A and B are shown apart, each in its own frame.
Chain A
Amino acid sequence: MSLAYLLRRLGTLLLVLFGVSLVTFAIIPLLPGSPARVTLGVQATPAAVATLERQMGLDRPLPVQYVSWIGGILTRGDFGTSLISRQPIRGEVTRRLPATITLALVALAIGLAIAIPAGYVSALKPGSARDLGVSVMSQLGVSVPDFWMGILLILLFSETLGWLPSSGYRPLSDGFVPWGRHVLLPAATVGIISGSIMARFVRSALLEVLGQDYVRTAHAKGLPRRIVLRKHVMRNAAISIVTIVGLQMATLLSAVVVVEIIFAWPGLGQLALTATLQRDYPALQAAVLLAAVTFTVVNLLTDLSYTFLDPRVSYT
């Protein structure tokens, strides 16, 4: 990977992140009603609201407010104070970000555990009943609403069988079993859906490699099928599979936001919805900003990972 390409990508990333910060900052000026009014309540006098607005710095010009807001985040990790709990938001988001990332990672693991074997068995015998089964599963996966899938899993595993809790969160420090019991249903909700979608792409990636000349050569020179599949097919399909995972991260992170809300999982998605419903705008800003930054960085890492996986790919 050339240094020029890396610098260009980083430049674009910074530009996009700057845009993201502007959009996120714009939430408060665009909102109906002032945050000072939300803090003091509808009974507050205009004079009291004006005083608090001055204290919060909301009477300053917008560019000055932006520099002060983004400067606080970049230098001190200061996202402001929650209008509802009156606590610094920093503590709240540092607690919630790992919860969101954990859920996304476990969901991704479940998704890959479904997609790779399903795509594999389907690609080995295109047109077979198994292949058709994977296609149907994939179509259903794209069409099932994530919140409905969550409801169905709760209905089966919590309400009917009573095996798993229907909501809540336990940190890993409480032990693996309590943590696993709580993370399983929300992660499976996201994982089953994104796994079904990814299976179709894994199938296409494998089919493309299976049709290559070097695979035919490997078969022709008498290599056992198992070795051909492992050493030639799977390894060469890996890059496409990483691309699929990268593209799927958008859907996955969006689904995580939804699922957090259904399972009362204390992550950024739940914070964003609660903040919206309670009109806690600084908290909404923090949740949205962090989610967008995580998302953008994941996208860049996916792009850059190609060159590490496949030395034949070079960017100039």
Chain B
Amino acid sequence: MAIQTARPTGVSRPGLELLRKALRHGLVLAGGGVVLFLGCLAAFGQALAPYDPLAMDFTARFAPPSLAHPFGTDDFGRDLLSRVMYGARVSVQVAFIAVGISASAGVTLGVTAGYLGGWVDELIMRVMDVIFAFPAVLLAITVMAILGRGVENAMIAIAIVYAPIFARVTRGAVISVRDREFVTAARALGQTHTRIMWAHVLPNALGPIIVQTSLSLAFAILAEAALSFFGLGTQPPDPSWGRMLAEGRGFLGQAPWMGIFPGLAIMVSVLGFNLLGDGLRDVLDPRWRGRR
């Protein structure tokens, strides 16, 4: 027999209330605006770019910023604005896929550790401690050494580096809800651990995970840029912001714009995700409210 529960009218649901609160928050709006702009750039950048990002023009090598080339050109005469616009796609794609893998693995481990506790928790968290013991960039470089260069492997490397953060954040959030009445009630009804973990515990522990996702997207953009800067991530001639900075480094005296605009693009994108993450933390996590 299905039991219908009447939803009181005139009372907003918690999700909608949070969404309204988020949309009124300055940091969420500012960060969200930047992220939305970045998303549009990633989706339509190639179509909107004034030039082909790979097209070389040896008559326009090292052209300084002008109306024809607002960000100037590089050592092959390629238009830097078009390359920066195209590079957004690489950054966004890598960041979302890497964080997707990282969050899936980290959240699964964190929910399992936090909910089951005991030796399972101890084992999972000690393994996470070991991964944490490596400086992030060094671990990413090592994973790239094992997997080989390339943008797909960069995604895997970034995912491995940031999975323990998701595991820790999720575990903490799960521990704070696992002993609440609704979980005890679900247990008393004879539901399986798997069902309780995914249907009852996780949805109530989502706040910190959403915040961490936004902050991790910022880290992932930085990490992809760093790996490409070292020549391990995106390979030439594909334009990636990190790769463009590495190319520009050799011509700083001659064409400083080559070292400025790609870096600015990275900074603004990372800033967008960070602001969004901080704003969401204010909205979703009451402990953080008013700390700034």
Interface residues of A, Cβ cutoff 8 Å to B? 12, 15-17, 19-20, 22-23, 27, 30-32, 135, 139-140, 142-148, 151-152, 154-155, 159, 200, 204, 250, 253-254, 257-258, 261-262, 268-269, 272-273, 275-277, 279, 281, 284, 287-288, 291-292, 295-296
User: Quick one: which of A159, A269, A279, A281 contacts B138, CB cutoff 8 A?
Assistant: A269
**What count of chain B residues pass the 8 Å CB interface test?**
46
Q: A27-B146, A288-B134 are in contact. List 15 more A-B contacts (CB 8 A).
A: A17-B133, A23-B130, A142-B270, A143-B270, A143-B274, A144-B267, A145-B263, A145-B267, A147-B226, A148-B267, A159-B252, A159-B256, A250-B132, A273-B141, A291-B134
Q: For residue B232, which residue of chain A has the nearest CB? A: A276
- Whole-angstrom CA separation of A170 from B228 in the bound complex: 29
B249 in the interface, Cβ–Cβ < 8 Å?
yes
B48 in the interface, Cβ–Cβ < 8 Å?
no
A interface, by DSSP: helix, strand, loop or mixed? Answer: helix
| Contact in complex: A292, B135 (CB < 8 Å) | yes
| Contact in complex: A139, B129 (CB < 8 Å) | no
Query: Closest approach, in angstroms, between the C-beta of A232 and any C-beta of chain B?
Result: 22
| Contact in complex: B226, A258 (CB < 8 Å) | yes
Q: For residue A296, which residue of chain B has the nearest CB? A: B133
B interface, by DSSP: helix, strand, loop or mixed? Answer: helix
| Contact in complex: B266, A148 (CB < 8 Å) | yes
Residues on the A chain within 8 Å of B130, using CB: 16, 19-20, 22-23
Query: Closest approach, in angstroms, between the C-beta of A178 and any C-beta of chain B?
Result: 23
| Contact in complex: B245, A27 (CB < 8 Å) | no
Q: For residue B146, which residue of chain A has the nearest CB? A: A30
B70 in the interface, Cβ–Cβ < 8 Å?
no
| Contact in complex: A254, B137 (CB < 8 Å) | yes
- Whole-angstrom CA separation of A60 from B242 in the bound complex: 41
- Whole-angstrom CA separation of A15 from B125 in the bound complex: 12
A148-B266, A151-B249, A151-B252 known; A291-B129 Cβ under 8 A: no
User: Quick one: which of B141, B245, B252, B256 contacts A276, CB cutoff 8 A?
Assistant: B141
User: Quick one: which of B135, B231, B249, B271 contacts A291, CB cutoff 8 A?
Assistant: B135
The 6 A-B pairs at the shortest CB distance, nearest first, are namely A148-B263, A19-B130, A143-B271, A143-B270, A276-B145, A254-B135
B148 in the interface, Cβ–Cβ < 8 Å?
yes
Query: Closest approach, in angstroms, between the C-beta of A166 and any C-beta of chain B?
Result: 8
